[in-house]
Amino acid sequence: MTVLYEDNHIIAVNKTCSEIVQGDKTGDTPLSEIVKAYIKEKYNKPGEVFLGVTHRLDRPTSGVVLFARTSKALTRLNEMFKSHEQIRKTYWAIVQGAPKVPEARLENYLTRNETLNKSFIAKPNAKEAKLAVLSYKTLVRGDNYSLLEVNLETGRHHQIRCQLAAIGCPIKGDLKYGAKRSNPDGGISLHARQIAFIHPVSKQPICITAPVPDDSLWQQLAASVH
């Protein structure tokens, strides 16, 4: 586990694609418990350590995850994530091919299939369809893959994965949304690159950036970003 930022109220770590943020049916140890153990040992805290989950990343996604160390911070961060105000999440994605339009804003209505754990593009009047909005720009265009920067305006289930696949650019390794082959590590090439927000207690601007995965293609594309 790599800690990217910590103070008395918040802690941010760089999640790998094999880690889960919260416990699930797999029974694997979640990142939240690993962070708790880290805090308990580092600060020699007796008893139970408080740690609040403010947002989640899909298991196969890597990148920055922000936790609250106090209830005050948790309440305020939850409000910020819910309203999408005072907080900005930036993702990097390696996609197959390249978008026909190098930079664009995508608006789609999505429906979620719980059984398949997958989202689908739907008509605006479809049952339970929710508006999904993101903007992307092409940072590096390669022969087979391109690196995109994605900014979310909404937080829908599998939003980036579904919307990029819909423009013919599935994320590398994302078999569920049309990638040709899986990644060796079982993850997908979607990385929560940066989170910028107003600190819930000090009110100071905070910007946390997560290094890209230690993978040759990631390293090569990231090095080409100007």
What's the pLDDT at 22?
82
CATH of the domain at 105: 3.30.2350.10
Q: How many CB atoms lie within 10 A of CB 103?
A: 11
Task: Provide mean pLDDT across the span 126-155.
Answer: 95
Q: How many CB atoms lie within 10 A of CB 124?
A: 9
Provide the CB-side half-sphere exposure for 182 (13 A, CA).
Answer: 7
State the Cα–Cα distance between residues 181 and 218, nearest whole angstrom: 17
In the chain, how many domains are there?
1
Task: Provide mean pLDDT across the span 137-144.
Answer: 94
What is the pLDDT of the chain when averaged over all its residues? 94
Q: Which of 21, 28, 116 is nearest to 59 (CA)?
A: 21
Residue 42 has pLDDT above 90, yes or no: yes
State the Cα–Cα distance between residues 196 and 91, nearest whole angstrom: 12
State the Cα–Cα distance between residues 51 and 70, nearest whole angstrom: 7
Read off the pLDDT of residues 82-113 as tens digits, 9 standing for 90 and up.
887 788 999 999 999 999 999 999 999 999 99
Residues annotated as catalytic (active site), given as ranges: 58
State the Cα–Cα distance between residues 115 and 94, nearest whole angstrom: 27
What's the pLDDT at 24?
77
In the chain, the amino acid numbered 14 is: N
Put simply, whether the predicted model's pTM sits higher than 0.85 gets the answer yes
List the Cα angle 14/18/20 in 5-degree steps.
Answer: 75
Residue 165 has pLDDT above 80, yes or no: yes
What's the pLDDT at 50?
95
What's the pLDDT at 212?
97
Read off the pLDDT of residues 8-33 as tens digits, 9 standing for 90 and up.
999 999 999 989 998 777 778 999 99
Residue 124 has pLDDT above 90, yes or no: yes
What's the pLDDT at 226?
77
Tokens 């940066």: give the residue.
194
**Residue 27: what are its φ and ψ, rounded to 5°?**
80, 0
pLDDT class of 172 with cuts at 50, 70, 90: very high
Domain coverage including residue 45: 2-223
